[in-house]
Structure 1
């Protein structure tokens, strides 16, 4: 038998049935009474038993073979079509849902894998930059132990044994903004009766000065965004602050406001400049309650209300913008940008 076979793109064999025919060689003679063993070719009908079968005539053989080949070709075509459809459906389903090693979920594409790698690299770079920035602050140069030692040194000095302070509520390391818009690093001790603001030299490890503000004298607290007056050459700060007053600000004379060394009856706090880069390990090792203004606000307002009510006073709390009267203070702007009010390592010098 001769058959023309072509190999298609999907690896299947197409059979040209028009040229399919039976050829008998000269050595083979088939008669109606001849018998042969059961055919072994898959193209012929196998015998259900081991008995011999009689070979039909040539026309019957050709017709049967042709029908068998046709059915076989149709079966192969159907299998090919169903296999291709199943492969396409599986590929589409895998692109959206997917399953790898029995774990369901979306299969990441090359783009998402690349994006994840870029994000991880960016995160590592930002983490290293934050660690490098923290090392420039003397407050965090040894994992927060410098602050812990400063607290131990300050507590016996700023508190007394007459129970005048009451219970210690917490200790914060915040940034104080003066009335001349100058930022300074300050330790803030909050007790049941007082707020104590400490200036501590973290380089020389020396207590320089401190101020004790009785909570019963505080009459106004303003929490909100910091802004400059309309005529200022500076843009508003993208920061939130807390201004604590124990006297009406309108009663402060201009001679005091315009004197950078004078003391005004209010204080303004914001977050510490390194608060965003601090880890829980450093916070726990330093003994500090926190470095964020948000964590200081609620304990302070609660203690202040209790003390003011105990002395029949009145406390006003507002959430609005805080005005910083700096119209053209270029020197204070440079001072703050260089963070000269913080104890830092600056190249070969430190101040």
Structure 2
């Protein structure tokens, strides 16, 4: 199959505790270079002078490793967190999106997709034996809006790390870790694709944890690290463990102004929520 991604027709830590040394405003990690790390002991003087809002690298800036929980009044407005909504969504997608040829379902998560314009969008992610299925699901009216399938044997790279932006960006760096799956074989998309915020042909997907990770009963369903472990293993199984590049490195976003994404993300337009008595 030449096209690794198919759009649905009409369907719309075992982390090694790395020591972090900050010198001259740059971030260097002891041992192997890795964005994964845990906060050092508060007494460690190498961390006392860190720029708290973000982590700085040469000519760039990254968000924090951990996200801050939203206030309860905001968390309660996510329809996905209401009792029974996730279960109904998963059953709906299994019946209307998945086919027998996709293979058995290996796992289901509700995550946040960060598109190439830095917009955050709530996505139901289903991992099968052969496919990664990404669904935009409206939890308000309980309806599938769109879906796409990514062949596991076409994914050649799994990259995980902090979100990185240009040093002079006006965007507040996103906190938390992200996972990027790529199937472009090193070929970058053209300007027409990159400049189109609605492009469906970008040959990668970036996912991070859902805000409900801090309050939901089954927190792992909303955490990207649980998804990362499963997707790496599934790809290796589907491909016979051949040529999959798994790396830890910051996820670079070349967003300098980001006015539209800032408004989009702060308003949480990409999520199914209740807004002043109106739900969308």
Which of the pair has the greater relative contact order for Cα pairs under 8 Å at 6+ separation?
2
Matches of residues 1-351 of structure 1 in structure 2 within 5 Å? Answer: 130=72, 132-141=73-82, 143=83, 145-161=84-100, 164-248=101-185, 250-263=187-200, 264-280=202-218, 290-309=221-240, 313-351=242-280
The match for 2:35 is none
How much has 1:147 moved relative to structure 2? 1.3
Q: Deviations over 1:108-157 (max 9, x none)?
A: xxxxxxxxxxxxxxxxxxx9x53x4332111122x2x0111111111012
Q: Distance in 1 between matches of 2:92 and 2:174?
A: 35
Match of 2:32 in 1: none
CA RMSD of aligned residues (A): 2.0
Give the Å deviation of 1:232.
2.2
TM-score by length of 1: 0.57
The 8 Å contact of residues 227 and 324 in structure 1, kept in 2 or not, is answered as yes
Do the aligned partners of 1:228 and 1:324 also contact (CA within 8 Å) in 2?
A: yes
**Aligned 8 A contact 1:174 1:272 in 2:** yes
Q: Is the 2:75–2:211 contact (alpha carbons within 8 Å) kept by the matching residues of 1?
A: no
Are residues 135 and 237 of structure 1, via their aligned partners in 2, closer, same or farther at CA, if it must alter by over 3 Å?
closer
Determine the C-alpha separation between the residues in 1 that align with 2:181 and 2:194.
16
Structure 1 contact 195–214 (Cα < 8 Å) conserved: yes
Question: Distance between the aligned counterparts of 1:183 and 1:240, measured in 2?
Answer: 14
Tell me if the contact between 1:179 and 1:325 (Cα under 8 Å) persists in the aligned partners: no
User: Matched residue pairs, number?
Assistant: 211
Give the structure with the higher percent strand: 2
For 1:328 and 1:248, locate their aligned partners in 2 and report how far apart those are by CA, in whole Å.
29
Q: Confirm or deny: 8 A CA contact 2:81 2:212 kept in the other structure.
A: no
Unaligned runs of 5+ in 2: 1-68
Report the CA distance between 1:167 and its aligned residue: 1.9
State the shift of 1:226 in Å.
0.4
**Contact 1:174 1:293 (8 Å CA) reproduced:** yes
Contact 1:215 1:304 in 2 (8 A): yes
Query: Take 1:204 and 1:249, find their aligned partners in 2: how far apart are those partners?
Result: 40
Which consecutive unaligned segments of at least 5 residues does structure 1 have? Answer: 1-126, 284-288
Report the Cα distance in structure 2 between the residues aligned to 1:173 and 1:139, rounded to whole angstroms. Answer: 9
Structure of greater Rg: 1
TM-score (norm 2): 0.71
The Cα shift of 1:205 comes to 1.1
Query: Counterparts of 2:274 and 2:224 in 1: how far apart (Å)?
Result: 25
